[in-house]
Amino acid sequence: MLDIDINDLKRISELIYQKYNYDFRNYAMSSFKRRVLRIMELKKLTVDTLIKKLNDNPAFINEFLDELTVNVTEMFRDPSFWRIMREEIIPAIMLNHKQFKIWHAGCASGEEVLSMSIMLKEMGILQDVTMIATDLDVNILERAKSGVYPLKNMELNEKNYIRFQGTGSFKDYYREENGMAVFPKELLMNVSFRRHDLVLGDVFNKFDLILCRNVMIYFNQSLQNEVLKKFHESLFKYGYLAIGSKESLIWCDYSNRFIVVNNEEKIYKKIKD
């Protein structure tokens, strides 16, 4: 059976860092290993041929990254999270600001961003919100920008929307074209998509709400600490941070600067600078 040892994984992450400036050295080892093994299997590579390909063929890096990062996502993922957003978090932000800013960090193919836009549209405030959606993976960002998805994904998205108790009819939000669901550009009018690396990238703005769901689960504890520090700096005081339902901040150095607003949905509020 295909296997790879920890030293070879370290060689690979070091090579990607030195040659391409992508830093996976502090990603959780178990999932990093699974992804590398998957790439070796898909591309029929041994450890040595993989390392050689990464060394000799710079064009391979994007393909490699695309397989390395886990881009799985869906619209209205965890519908109860979206109900809390609509009923508690967004109204709480609006008590102080009529216009506000959201950062979707690790937005993958953009389903989370579209869900936010649809929810804000139904709340009648889409025009008051500026959103920045970022990801490490440039290929996946192109998909996110397009707002076009396979029609076959719509069944699950619609089920989530119904459980979220959206006020419209999900099918009205897109048109069907050649087996694809095409969402109108107006839904993304206030969104700017850009590449940003949570590990090596800078703090670039201040936000009222940051969603970084199902991303930090791939990081080890020291990287989670660093990234939480960046989120803390990127939030206005009393701003909100949402992470994935299976993730937790409690072990992080900066956790005492936040309070838990909703433990099931993993929503936190910055209370200390």
| 10-18, 39-47, 107-115, 125-133 -> range binding ligand SAM (CB under 6 A) | 107-115
Nearer to ligand SAM, 15 or 28 (CB): 28
Token pair of 229 as six digits: 């520090």
Is residue 135 at the binding interface for ligand SAM, with CB under 6 A as the rule?
Answer: yes
Tell me which of 1, 6, 72, 250 binds ligand SAM, using CB under 6 A: 72
Binding mask 189-208 for ligand SAM (x = CB under 6 A): --------xxx---------
Is residue 213 at the binding interface for ligand SAM, with CB under 6 A as the rule?
Answer: yes
Is residue 69 at the binding interface for ligand SAM, with CB under 6 A as the rule?
Answer: yes
Closest CB 127 distance from ligand SAM, rounded Å:
24
Is residue 28 at the binding interface for ligand SAM, with CB under 6 A as the rule?
Answer: no
Residues with Cβ within 8 Å of residue 70, at least 6 apart in sequence: 31, 35, 218
- CA angle 38/198/64 to nearest 5° reads 25
| 35-43, 106-114, 145-153, 157-165 -> range binding ligand SAM (CB under 6 A) | 106-114
205 closest CA partner among 189, 192, 224: 192
DSSP state letters, 177-225: ETTEEE--GGGGTTEEEEE--TTTPPP---EEEEEE-SSGGGB-HHHHH
Tell me which of 13, 137, 258, 270 binds ligand SAM, using CB under 6 A: 137
Nearer to ligand SAM, 49 or 205 (CB): 205
Work out the number of other CB atoms within 10 angstroms of the CB of residue 126.
18
CB of 232 within 8 A of CB of 252? Answer: no
Work out the number of other CB atoms within 10 angstroms of the CB of residue 190.
17
**Which residue's entry shows tokens 């619609």?**
158
Nearer to ligand SAM, 108 or 181 (CB): 108
Q: What are phi and psi of 149, to 5 degrees?
A: -135, 155
Is residue 230 at the binding interface for ligand SAM, with CB under 6 A as the rule?
Answer: no
Rounded CA separation 205/211 (Å): 14
The residue count for binding ligand SAM (CB under 6 A) is 21
Count of helix runs (H) and strand runs (E) in the chain? 10, 10
Closest CB 215 distance from ligand SAM, rounded Å:
4
Closest CB 213 distance from ligand SAM, rounded Å:
4
Token pair of 234 as six digits: 């990127």
Is residue 106 at the binding interface for ligand SAM, with CB under 6 A as the rule?
Answer: yes
Chain positions contacting ligand SAM, by CB under 6 A: 69-73, 77, 106-108, 112, 135-137, 140, 197-199, 213-215, 244
